[in-house]
Amino acid sequence: MSIEEYRLKNKRIRDPMSILIDGKKTAQDIKNEIAARVAEIKQAGGKQPHLAAILVGEDGASQTYVGAKVKACEEVGFTSTLVRLAAEVSEEELLQTVEDINQNLDIDGLIVQLPLPAHISVDKVTNRIRPEKDVDGFTPANVGRLTLNWPAYVSATPYGIVELLKRYQIETSGKHCVVIGRSHIVGSPMSILMARNGYPGNATVTLTHSKTKDLATICRMADVLIVAIGKPEFVTADMVKPGAVVIDVGIHRIVDETKKTGFRLIGDVKYDEVAPIASAITPVPGGVGPMTIAALLYNTLQSAEKKVFG
Ligand code: NAD
């Protein structure tokens, strides 16, 4: 089917552009819903949800991410605690800090901002977080629960994508979903979520990675294409089936002297050429990014209300 035929057949398409999946607006809706629930909890005499974050070292991007998470906590009425540790902190000291937060009855959720300095084992630290407080969904217990389709804290980025698909009522059952990238925080959990029995889900999933052969051919078979490869504008129009739903997880800062800041953000998808042939697409910025923080807040609320582990 040609692109024009597709557009004529599919009433959801606002010619000439596809549906823009607005992550910024959806994230704000979710934050408003969370804030309303927190207000109810407080009115009933309950405790404010409390998120703790551990930041090790002075990495600029990590400071920005953690800062945005703390600010988002304030917006929805959560308490937040930011523990800053020097880059030279020993692994033992970091593990003890995690343990202290595990034992703190006021704290509902704990995140350890990645990356960690090379002398610290991410696996050891992740595994020390109590699964009940693991609102990033990185611990083996939560990944296992997700795989079994049990209640679990789902890693924030894939969870944000699931919520976008749901709120935009994108059909996934019986569709072919191609995920590019198999990272533990995005691609792998995404593939599990799309394959599991539920909505969104029930898709036939192909998980592709750096050793995949003939990626473009596989991508062209996708009804839903989720791109988390970490390469700027890697996915071009010739890799996308007309009418596909395209979710772009990538974030890259590139120099742009026409901007006041001197840079702009782009994704893993060449938006200008893919948007006209997709039936729906997430932009960068304003797509998956804002949803990640909203999902983290949602997981923290779930923890405060003992909704996942009971
Ligand atoms: P990653 O670098 O950990 O993983 C990239 C994956 O791409 C790997 O699994 C690798 O096998 C695969 N890959 C590499 N080359 C490939 C090729 N030629 N063909 C097929 N697969 C290939 O990345 P990540 O942490 O999953 O992040 C991916 C992107 O998403 C990055 O740009 C990152 O900045 C962004 N990100 C955004 C958010 C958000 O909130 N929007 C959150 C996390 C990550």
Q: Phi and psi dihedrals of 275, rounded to 5?
A: -55, -45
Q: What is the mean pLDDT of residues 158-169?
A: 97
The secondary element (H helix, E strand) that includes residue 112 is strand 109-112
Looking at ligand 1, which atom is closest to the CA of residue 187? 26
pLDDT value of residue 211: 98
- In this structure, what token pair is assigned to residue 229? 């490869």
Q: How far is the CA of 96 from the centre of ligand 1 (A)?
A: 31
Instruction: Look over the chain and give the mean of its residue pLDDT values, rounded to a whole number.
Output: 94
Cα 3 from Cα 237, distance rounded (Å):
12
- Whether residue 173 is found in the same domain as residue 222: yes
Whether residues 165 and 272 share a domain: the answer is yes
CB 298 within 8 A of CB 260: no
Check if the beta carbon of residue 29 is closer than 8 Å to that of residue 296: no
Whether 173 and 235 map to the same domain: the answer is yes
Tokens representing 207 are 């998980």
**From 59, 210, 226, 239, mutation site for ligand 1 pocket: most ligand atoms within 8 A of C-beta:** 210
| Six-digit token string for 73 | 């906590």
Distance CA 198, CA 213 (A): 30
Q: What is the pLDDT of residue 13?
A: 43
Please answer whether residues 104 and 117 qualify as being in contact, where contact means their C-beta atoms are separated by less than 8 angstroms: no
Domain of residue 87 covers: 45-130
pLDDT tens-digit map of 113-138: 999 999 999 999 999 999 999 999 99
Residue reference for tokens 């969370």? 34
Q: Which amino acid is at 215?
A: L
Q: Is the pLDDT of residue 237 over 80?
A: yes
Among candidate residues 45, 50, 128, 131, the one with its CA nearest the CA of residue 308: 131
CATH of the domain at 205: 3.40.50.720
Radius of gyration of the chain (CA): 20
- Is ligand 1 within 6 A of the CB of residue 250? yes
pLDDT > 80? residue 309: yes
Q: Are residues 166 and 251 in the same domain?
A: yes
> Which band of pLDDT confidence, cut at 50, 70 and 90, is reported for residue 306?
very high
Is position 253 within any domain? yes
What's the total number of domains in the chain?
2
243 with 281, same domain?
yes
Whether the pLDDT of residue 14 is over 50: the answer is: no
- For atom 40 of ligand 1, the residue with the nearest CA is 289
Residue labelled with tokens 């034992």 = 103
pLDDT at 6: 52
Residue 13 lies in a domain: no
- Quick check: 301 and 280 in contact, CB under 8 A? no
* Residues paired with residue 109 on neighbouring β-strands, in sequence order: 51
Measure 185 CA to ligand 1 centroid, in angstroms.
9
pLDDT of 147 higher than 90: yes
Beta strand 280-281 with 19-20: parallel, antiparallel or unpaired? Answer: parallel
69 within domain boundaries: yes
Distance CA 90, CA 40 (A): 41
- List the catalytic residues: 69, 113, 136
Same domain, 182 and 112: no
Judgement on whether residues 57 and 178 belong to the same structural domain of the protein: no
Q: Which of 97, 130, 163 is the last residue of a domain?
A: 130
Ligand 1 contacts CB of residue 181 (under 6 A): yes
Q: Please report the pLDDT score of residue 18 as a whole number.
A: 80
Residues 266 and 179 in one domain: yes
Distance separating alpha carbons of residues 8 and 11, to the nearest angstrom:
7
**Of 10-24, 48-62, 296-310, which range is least confident?**
10-24
pLDDT of residue 137: 97
Clarify whether residues 77 and 159 are in a common domain: no
Q: State what percent of residues in the chain have pLDDT above 90.
A: 93
Separation of 229 CA from ligand 1 center, angstroms? 3
CB proximity list for 93: less than 8 A, separation 6 or greater: 85
Are residues 187 and 115 part of one domain? no
Ligand 1 pocket test, pick from 209, 225, 254 with the greatest ligand atom count within 8 Å of Cβ, gives 209
If you take atom 36 of ligand 1, which residue's CA is the nearest one? 250
Whether the link from the prior residue into 115 is cis, omega within 30° of 0, is: yes
Burial (CB < 10 A; 0-12, 13-18, 19+), residue 230, is: middle
Residue 12, domain member (yes or no): no
Could you tell me if residue 144 is inside a domain?
no
Look up the CATH number of the domain holding residue 83: 3.40.50.10860
What would the pLDDT profile of 17-48 be if each residue is shown by its tens digit? 589 999 999 999 999 999 999 999 999 999 99
Closest CA to 119 of 94, 153, 149, 136: 94
Q: Is residue 149 part of a domain?
A: no
Ligand 1 pocket: which of 183, 213, 225, 269 to mutate (most atoms within 8 A of CB): 183
pLDDT of residue 310: 73
Residue 277 and residue 159 share a domain: yes
**Percentage of the chain modeled with pLDDT above 70:** 95
- Domain membership of residue 141 (yes or no) is no
- Residue ID of nearest Cα to ligand 1 atom 14: 210
Amino acid at 103: Q
Domain final residue, candidates 89, 115, 130: 130
Going by C-alpha positions, the residue among 156, 188, 196 that lies closest to residue 172 is 196
Token pair, residue 286, equals: 């304003």
Give the angle 253-126-97 at the CA atoms, nearest 5°: 100
Residue 305 lies in a domain: no
Question: Are residue 116 and residue 165 in the same domain, yes or no?
Answer: no
